[in-house]
Amino acid sequence: MKLAKNVVFCETEYGAVLLDEASGLYWTLNPTGALAMGVLLDGKDKGDAVEAVVELYPASRDIVSTDVSNLLDQLHEAGLVEEK
């Protein structure tokens, strides 16, 4: 996965922000979403993102897997990411 053209990813103290420079719209990610996004942008897959979140936060693997899938769906629908 990679960011779509004109999209910038910036980690913050509270998670991360995705900015679509073409539209001026931005989206915020909480810390778990930011962690998953960072793993995915590093070229790893959904399973790796789930493992990274489960290692740092007290949540079940099934719930985290569903949350990461939902995040990916929303990012694709918003046109913020694309496949390499």
What are 6-18's pLDDT values in tens digits?
999 999 999 999 9
Domain count, the chain: 1
- Confidence class for position 24, pLDDT limits 50, 70, 90: very high
Range of the domain at 68: 2-82
Among the listed residues 80, 82, 83, 60, the one whose alpha carbon sits nearest the alpha carbon of residue 17: 80
Residue 5 has what pLDDT?
A: 93
pLDDT tens, position by position, 62-79: 999 999 999 999 999 999
* pLDDT greater than 90 at residue 84: no
Residue 78 has what pLDDT?
A: 93
The amino acid present at 56, given as its one-letter code, is L
* pLDDT greater than 90 at residue 28: yes
